[in-house]
Amino acid sequence: MAAEMGSPAVIDTQPGPTPGPAIAPASASSQAGLPAGPAHRPLMTLAEAAARTGRPQAAVRAALRRDLARPPDEQRLGARKNNAGEWLIAVPAEWLAVAEAAAEAGPGAMADEDRGRAPTPAGLADTAAAALVETLAERLAGLEQAVAGRVAELEHQLGEARVALAVAQAERDAARTEVNLRTEAARAEAAARAEASERLIAELRAQVGRLDRPFWRRWLG
C-alpha cells in the first residue's frame, strides 16, 4: 500500500540466496549449439593467442609443438598455416575462460598471480625447455626438409639408371638377335656352297671317267 500511495519504497533487507560466481558470456559456438571443437573456434596467430589468453608466446608455441606431436584425431588446437607462413591456432575454451576469470578478478589479482609465479625456478625451467624444444623442432624440420630433398634426388637418379638399364638390355637383345641371324645366314650359305661344290666335284669326276676311256669307246658311246 505504501508503494501505491507514493511513499518511499521499502528495501527488503531479508537475506536472499547467495549470488554465485559471475557466469562468463557464452561463446558464439555455444550459443549456436555447435561443438567447441577446433573447427568451430576462430583462428588466430600465436601472438594474438598470447595477447588474448595472457600466456607467454613461448608457452603458446610450446603448446603448439606438443599438440602437433599428437595423433591427428587427438589434436586440440586445429593448427594450420596462413598464406604468410604463420601458424594459426584455435584457442581452447579453457584458455579463454582462465583469461576471462583473471580479467574479472582485476589487474591486482593478475599482478599478484604474475608476481607469484614469475620468480619460480619451475617457470624459468619451463620457458627454457620450451625454447629448447622450439629450437630442436626447427632443426628437425630443417633436417627433414634436407633429407626429403636428398631422397627425391636419389629417386630421380634411380629412375634415370633404370631407364638406362632398360635401354642397354634392349640394345643387348637386339645385338644378340642380329648375331644369331647372321650366324644362321652364314651357316646356310656355307651349306649351299658345300652342296654346290659336291655337285661340281661329281660332274668333274664323271667327265674325267669319260676321258679315261679309249677313243673308240667314246665314239660308240
pLDDT in single tens digits along all 221 residues of the chain:
333 343 444 334 344 444 444 434 444 444 434 345 566 678 889 888 888 888 888 888 888 888 888 888 888 888 888 888 888 888 888 888 887 877 776 555 444 544 444 444 555 566 667 777 777 887 888 888 889 889 999 999 999 999 999 999 999 999 999 999 999 999 999 999 999 999 999 888 888 877 776 666 666 65
Please say whether the beta carbons of 108 and 116 come within 8 A: no
Cβ contacts of 80 within 8 Å, gap of 6 or more: 43, 87, 88
Q: In the chain, where are the structural domains located?
A: 34-119
CATH of domain 34-119: 1.10.1660
Q: Are strands 80-81 and 43-45 parallel, antiparallel or unpaired?
A: unpaired
The beta-strand segments (E) located in the chain are 43-45, 80-81, 87-90
